Amino acid sequence: MTEPVRSERSGAVVTLVIDRETRRNALNADVAAGICAGLDAAEADRSVRAVVLTGAGDKAFCAGGDLQPNAEGTPFTIDAADPRHYVAGLIRRMDACRLPLIARVNGHALAGGFGLACGCDLVVAREDALLGVTEVKVGLFPMMILPMLLRVVPYRVLMDMCLTGEPITAMDAVADRIVNHAVPADALDAKTDWLVSRIVDKSPTGIRLGKQGLGKIRGMSMDNALEYAQFMLANMARTQDAREGFAAFSEKRAPRWTGE
């Protein structure tokens, strides 16, 4: 049986591919578990510098929850004996990821699929890919992914999406910074590689601790955030990567990062 999420390694980059092309890479419990497992494995390997999340084929990045009859792992039910929702678990895992997480949106990203894209740090998309939340068309609202959407999508744009169910193209989404880069389909890989290359040559320790700090500060008051920030900055300055960065700058050479 084919795994719902396959992991591919190229140098310092791990690519997680949602491999349910016949189901438009729809999200279910197995897909969520596969993404979480892939992130766990990537973080456990200190030589990994970034993770790319994408879908199989060229039609859909992820079309959201599986609405097909007899779909396995539908996201629209909760076990009364165990109310922990796997979508919530996936969002928490993505939010806690200490590695840069880049969405390579190879096709439409709708409903939960749009939530996955918003849960990534950066997004490179096909310019003709449709992005949106279509739940209102089946009598629902994108409840589980709202925390991620509210961080990324401007409120008026989000309400337009949620109330009408109408998607926008990735090209249109660039103006609102929902997407970082929108390119023709034949340029998607090159643009993704270009973006990743600008990340993996930076300090892995600085990025790891920086993402951790950002996650904490986002939910703090200003006073608490400033107190935490100065603590984090002082500790980051003691790392080997920070010392190497200052030395490389002084010596006018490229830094040799150790990730320590």
Q: How many CB atoms lie within 10 A of CB 3?
A: 13
Say how far apart CA 235 and CA 243 lie, in whole Å.
12
**65 phi, psi to nearest 5 deg:** -65, 145
To the query of whether residue 43 is one of the catalytic residues in this protein, the response is no
To the nearest 10°, report the CA torsion of 190, 191, 197, 199. Answer: -160
Q: Three-class SS of residue 107? A: coil
Q: Which of 45, 56, 64, 52 is nearest to 16 (CA)?
A: 52
Q: Which of 43, 127, 135, 244 is catalytic?
A: 135
Say how far apart CA 50 and CA 211 lie, in whole Å.
12
Three-class DSSP labels, 217-259: HCCCCHHHHHHHHHHHHHHHCCCHHHHHHHHHHHHCCCCCCCC
What positions carry a catalytic annotation? 135
